[in-house]
Structure 1
Amino acid sequence: MLNCGDGGTDPSELIDDTDFSIELAFINHGTPSQDSALIAAADRWMSIVQGDLGDVDFSSTPVAANTCGEGVQNPEVSGTVDDLRIFIDIRPLDGPAGTLGQAGFCQIRSSSHLPVLGFMSFDSDDLGPIEQSGDFGALALHEMGHVLGVGTLWPDSDTLLVNPSLPSR
């Protein structure tokens, strides 16, 4: 597993427990620049999301392997997660010119109903052109938003702007 922003240092040495943290767990790595874009996306979301969520301890009730996303071969989760762990899986999905990526949560907190475990899968057959066009970072940021609940946990998303805070132009 790789803690965002470093090469694998113990997260307790890097994370201020008052800040939101995202841990990326690479099942299959992409190119070095793709991995860097994923780390940058996590860093960006950590700068946006304010506050710390309580750790979740899976020691007594582990999450089984291979249960986090369609086709994602995640390891069993039996330790503590602070605040969100995302399994990253870069592999062939549906061939060229199909689905670029898919993401979501696979475990939510019982108290707040916010994600604690999630997955992001990217089609390795499509990433070359996306990376060359400079759009992989935006794709990573977008898919990570789904893990955080954007568009996946909001049942009434069509009413989010009923009373916008900015005047119309």
Structure 2
Amino acid sequence: MIELKFDGDVTGERRAVFERSAQRWDQVVNTGFDPIDIDGDILTGVRIDVSIQPIDGANGVLGQAGPTILRQGNELPLAGIMEFDRADVATLEAGGRFEDVILHEMAHVLGFGTLWSRKTCSKERGQWTPGLSVPHPQGNLRPLIRRAAVPSLFQTRVARAPAKAIGESWCSVTSC
């Protein structure tokens, strides 16, 4: 189960959007694991530190994310960070795209596009949902994916996802 740790100016309404996104990913990816002590914190699921802060001003980088601590052995994420540009958040909310960008960046924390080269995933392996090019998992990522649940993650979001949230960027970048 994904645990979100909020830092700074994240309102209750915005937290709810992050929580909803985490719940959607928990339906698709096995994010829980046996308890692990990380610097005195006992983790039983992927911890994501979330902040909304200045990055580069309006209309640049919307958000950036990735894993920060990997498990020994299988190198899957234990913890990660998601940062969103304060200058872009209100525009994303007004355009109904904030949740899309959160889902996209949360995927990077979970290893999508950030750990694939370590896990020998291939970009040429097909599609899971119409309009969203995502390789089929290979190697150590395969047991984490609940493939039957993948369409439900994006069923209402794909048509409105910003261009950088679909297609090639899932395979090649760690920030948008």
**TM-score over 0.5 for the pair:** yes
Q: Counterpart of 1:100? A: 62
Please tell me the root mean square deviation across aligned C-alpha atoms, in Å.
2.0
Secondary structure at 1:117 match in 2: strand
- So what's the TM-score if we normalise by structure 1? 0.69
Alpha-carbon distance between aligned partners in 1 of 2:29 and 2:41, rounded to the nearest angstrom: 23
- So what's the TM-score if we normalise by structure 2? 0.66
> Which stretches in structure 2 are left out of the alignment for 5+ residues?
128-134, 137-176
User: Partner amino acid for 1:142?
Assistant: H
- 1:46 is aligned, of 18, 26, 32, to 26
**8 Å Cα contact 2:46-2:80 kept in structure 1:** yes
- Size of the aligned set, in residue pairs, is 126
Secondary structure at 2:3 match in 1: strand
Alpha-carbon distance between aligned partners in 1 of 2:31 and 2:96, rounded to the nearest angstrom: 31
Name which one, 1 or 2, has greater alpha-carbon Rg.
Answer: 1
User: Partner amino acid for 1:135?
Assistant: R
Percent identity of equivalent pairs: 37
**8 Å Cα contact 1:29-1:35 kept in structure 2:** no
| Structure 1 position 32 matched with structure 2 position 15 | no
Q: Counterpart of 2:3? A: 23
**8 Å Cα contact 1:151-1:157 kept in structure 2:** no
Deviation at 1:147? 0.2
Deviation at 1:47? 1.3
Structure with greater helix percent: 2
User: Partner amino acid for 2:5?
Assistant: A
User: Partner amino acid for 2:125?
Assistant: L
User: Partner amino acid for 1:138?
Assistant: D
Alpha-carbon distance between aligned partners in 1 of 2:122 and 2:83, rounded to the nearest angstrom: 24
Q: Counterpart of 1:161? A: 126
Deviation at 1:51? 6.9
**8 Å Cα contact 2:31-2:46 kept in structure 1:** no
